[in-house]
Amino acid sequence: DAEITQSPRHKITETGRQVTLACHQTWNHNNMFWYRQDLGHGLRLIHYSYGVQDTNKGEVSDGYSVSRSNTEDLPLTLESAASSQTSVYFCASSGGVNTEAFFGQGTRLTVV
């Protein structure tokens, strides 16, 4: 069965370190998204991609970057981790606009 997986599931890192969260999907979807989930805010969009070599900023993109070198993967990099980036991160992929997005299980990141 097709799926979307995130790794690691849990990560503790120190302030100032670079961190990369992996997202891999086998749906062959062109659209991929990264969100962060914080209490009281729901899910907020960090970055998204409509296909290989395409990346776009979301509403909370400062301090994050993504790259899309193939269809399956959209890694999220925190350039210099800050305590404000402690959160749960979800990756999602989708087909056309009338289709649902499929979500990974999330990565809980703690910056100390």
Partner 1 sequence: AQSVTQLDSHVSVSEGTPVLLRCNYSSSYSPSLFWYVQHPNKGLQLLLKYTSAATLVKGINGFEAEFKKSETSFHLTKPSAHMSDAAEYFCVVRVTGGSYIPTFGRGTSLIVHP
How far apart are CB 39 and partner 1 at their closest, in Å? 9
Strands 10-13 and 19-25: unpaired
How far apart are CB 10 and partner 1 at their closest, in Å? 11
How far apart are CB 18 and partner 1 at their closest, in Å? 26
Q: Is 63 left (phi over 0), alpha (psi -120 to 50) or beta?
A: left
Stretch near partner 1 under the rule CB under 8 A, chosen from 16-24, 36-44, 68-76, 78-86? 36-44
**Size of the residue set binding partner 1 (CB under 8 A):** 25
CA distance 81 to 59: 18
